[in-house]
């Protein structure tokens, strides 16, 4: 079981060895703009006057810097825990089962994949392929907000950087900042600038989290969308390839499945994913006895028909009593007489029948604007769950598509997950990432011999912290701090590649 992990570990090492080649290739696909350069110049000019805007912005990003320092430790801790979890997952006998149709929230909360924290978002494998554009837009939005943090923070004195451009590459949004010539003199400013992006991401996550918990999203939803429960569930989308596509109108309500009224989203899922054999029907249907007995008995020769049997089911089934009927001819009329047994039918010429046990028939009772009808599905019920998406809300605003709400909700769910992931990922102490800059700048603060002048830090506590740490680490010189940073970088890089490769293997290759 460990062999694939060792192979992946070796692959990770090779990837790490040739990272420069990979990086150079990737950077060829990039687009850059100078549109925000003047905005950055305005910020630099404003902050240089050291007024309120400067004081406020500096305090704000200093808070972010403290969080960045803690974040480097937290993200490294998570990486170490994840490595251990993946090694444990290798020993598990039951692999995670992957169902791409699941909602993101449900997928992230699912305990599958052992105890691993990382759950890769792989379109078509772990999340629906149709949500790939949402994932990309959410990723770009959280990256853009991250980069805005770097742009604003880097304009702060004492060593403001110059912005040479903002752009897009295969790895996402980026900013090109030219450091101030005196940048090396101000390690705390470097910590602050490097932490600003992750600080923005954490703030974004907090705002989204708070909006959910104070009920803001419920208020917005109530203003623009109408709750259709307890009448049924609204049809949000039907797969292009689904046989149901021409029969189900978006926005129409599904009132009941067979005789079970839909009173929640869970009832839809529970009924369709219930283990087979499915529950027996509550009552039968009255059909003309003569017509019923004249029908064929071998349904394989008559496509479109299904086997019906007298109701209630006799204790000893006689195959000659079962006949093949076109199901919609029995179910289509919602007012069709139901029966507990043949004598309870209105006419003595009628007999009470019901689908045979293994026919896999499902009745979808539909309510459209002015009428109701029944659609009959023949096949595994799970397919209906996979092909039809239902929801609890329909828009109040005319012309607003019915899928707008679930799309918006999915987008904010992605944004909330990705912004936090982006913060933690960027704070890993790797040289090209913000965490690498935080670590090397911190080492510069700690390893400078006491007595040397520092930058113009105004926070008393920080000054104290640095004096203490500088005293404690007297004797360490620049070369040592570079060596420590390099070692941390190498270990974290290899662990990261190992975790990425193993996570992908656990979630994709090792299928059920």
Q: What are the residues binding Zn ion (CB under 5 A)?
A: 197, 426, 434
287 versus 423: smaller Cβ distance to Zn ion: 423
Helix (H) or strand (E) holding 11: helix 3-17
Give the nearest residue (CB) to Zn ion.
Answer: 197
* Alpha-carbon span 508 to 127, nearest angstrom: 12
CB of 426 to Zn ion, least distance (A): 5
- Which tokens go with 257? 């499945």
Residue-wise burial string across 313-333, b where 16 or more C-beta atoms lie within 10 A, e elsewhere = eeeeeeeeebbbbebeebbee
Q: For the CB of residue 174, give the shortest distance to Zn ion in the complex, in Å.
A: 8
Structure-token pair, residue 232: 């049924």
Q: Which is nearer to Zn ion, 197 or 429 (CB)?
A: 197
Instruction: Identify the CA nearest to 157 among candidates 55, 67, 37.
Output: 55
Nearer to Zn ion, 131 or 183 (CB): 183
Residue 162 pairs in a beta bridge with: 178
Alpha-carbon distances, residue 472 vs 43, 343, 447, 467, 482 (angstroms): 38, 96, 9, 9, 18
Q: How far is the CB of 192 from Zn ion (least distance, A)?
A: 12
Vertex 214, ends 210 and 216: CA angle to 5°? 95
Minimum separation from the CB atom of position 431 to Zn ion (A): 13
Choose between 365 and 426: whose C-beta lies nearer to Zn ion: 426
Is the C-alpha dihedral spanning 273, 278, 283, 287 positive or negative?
positive
Sign of CA dihedral 252, 258, 264, 267: negative
113 phi-psi bin (left φ>0, alpha ψ -120 to 50, beta other):
left
Nearest CB to Zn ion, comparing residues 339 and 423: 423
d(CA 387, CA 392) in angstroms, rounded, equals 17
- Which pair of tokens denotes residue 467? 């004096």
Closer residue to Zn ion (CB): 272 or 425: 425
> CB of 57: closest distance to Zn ion in angstroms?
17
> Which CB, 376 or 485, lies closer to Zn ion?
485
Of 43 and 361, the one with the shorter C-beta distance to Zn ion is 43
In the complex with Zn ion, which residue's Cβ is closer, 62 or 434?
434
Residue 58 CA, chain-centre distance (Å), reads: 34
CB of 138 to Zn ion, least distance (A): 17
CB of 492 to Zn ion, least distance (A): 16
CB of 167 to Zn ion, least distance (A): 14
Residue 178: closest CA among 158, 195, 199, 159: 159
Segment holding 260, helix H or strand E: strand 260-261
For helices 3-17 and 478-504, give the axis angle rounded to 10 degrees.
Answer: 130
Give the H/E segment covering residue 42: helix 37-48
């Amino acid at each position: 079981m460990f062999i694939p992990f060792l192979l992946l570990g070796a692959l990770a090492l090779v990837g790490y060895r040739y990272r420069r080649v990979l990086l150079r290739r990737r950077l060829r696909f990039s687009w850059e703009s100078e549109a925000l350069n003047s905005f950055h110049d305005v910020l630099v000019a404003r902050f240089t006057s050291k007024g309120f805007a400067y004081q406020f912005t500096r305090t704000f990003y200093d808070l972010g810097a403290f969080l960045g320092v803690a974040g480097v430790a937290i993200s490294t801790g998570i990486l170490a825990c994840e490595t251990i979890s993946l090694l444990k997952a290798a020993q598990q006998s039951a692999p995670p089962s992957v169902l791409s149709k699941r909602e993101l929230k449900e997928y992230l909360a699912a305990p599958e994949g052992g105890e691993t924290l990382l759950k890769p978002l792989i379109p078509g494998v772990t999340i629906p392929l149709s949500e790939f554009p949402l994932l990309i837009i959410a990723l770009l939005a959280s990256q853009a907000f991250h980069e805005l943090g770097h742009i604003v923070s880097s304009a702060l004195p004492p060593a403001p950087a110059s912005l040479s451009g903002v752009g897009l590459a295969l790895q996402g949004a980026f900013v090109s900042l030219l450091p101030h010539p005196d940048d090396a003199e101000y390690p705390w400013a470097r910590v602050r600038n490097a932490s600003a992006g992750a600080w923005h991401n954490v703030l974004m996550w907090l705002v989204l989290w708070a909006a959910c918990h104070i009920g803001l999203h419920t208020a917005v939803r109530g203003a623009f969308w109408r709750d259709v429960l307890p009448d049924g569930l609204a049809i949000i989308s039907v797969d292009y390839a689904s046989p149901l596509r021409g029969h189900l109108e978006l926005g129409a309500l599904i009132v009941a499945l067979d005789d079970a009224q839909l009173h929640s989203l869970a009832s839809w899922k529970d009924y369709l994913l219930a283990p087979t054999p499915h529950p027996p029907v509550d009552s039968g249907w009255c059909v003309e006895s003569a017509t019923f007995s004249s029908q064929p008995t071998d349904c394989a020769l008559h496509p479109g028909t299904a086997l019906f049997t007298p109701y209630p089911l006799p204790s000893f089934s006689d195959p000659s009593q079962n006949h093949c009927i076109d199901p919609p001819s029995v179910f289509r009329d919602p007012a069709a007489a139901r029966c507990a047994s043949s004598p309870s039918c209105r006419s003595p010429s009628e007999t009470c029948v019901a689908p045979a046990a293994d026919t896999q028939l499902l009745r979808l009772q539909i309510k459209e604007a002015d009428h109701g009808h029944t659609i009959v599905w023949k096949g595994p019920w799970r397919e209906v769950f996979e092909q039809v998406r239902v929801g609890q809300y329909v828009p109040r605003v005319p012309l607003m598509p019915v899928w707008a709400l679930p799309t918006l909700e999915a987008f904010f769910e992605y944004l909330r997950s990705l912004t936090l992931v982006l913060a933690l990922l960027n704070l890993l102490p790797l040289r090209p990432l913000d965490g690498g800059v935080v670590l090397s700048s911190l080492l510069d603060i700690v390893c400078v011999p006491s007595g040397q002048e520092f930058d113009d830090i105004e926070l008393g506590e920080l000054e104290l912290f640095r004096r203490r740490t500088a005293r404690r680490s007297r004797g360490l010189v620049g070369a040592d701090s570079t060596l420590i940073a390099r070692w941390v970088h190498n270990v974290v890089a290899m662990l990261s590649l190992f975790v990425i490769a193993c996570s992908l293997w656990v979630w994709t290759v090792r299928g059920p």
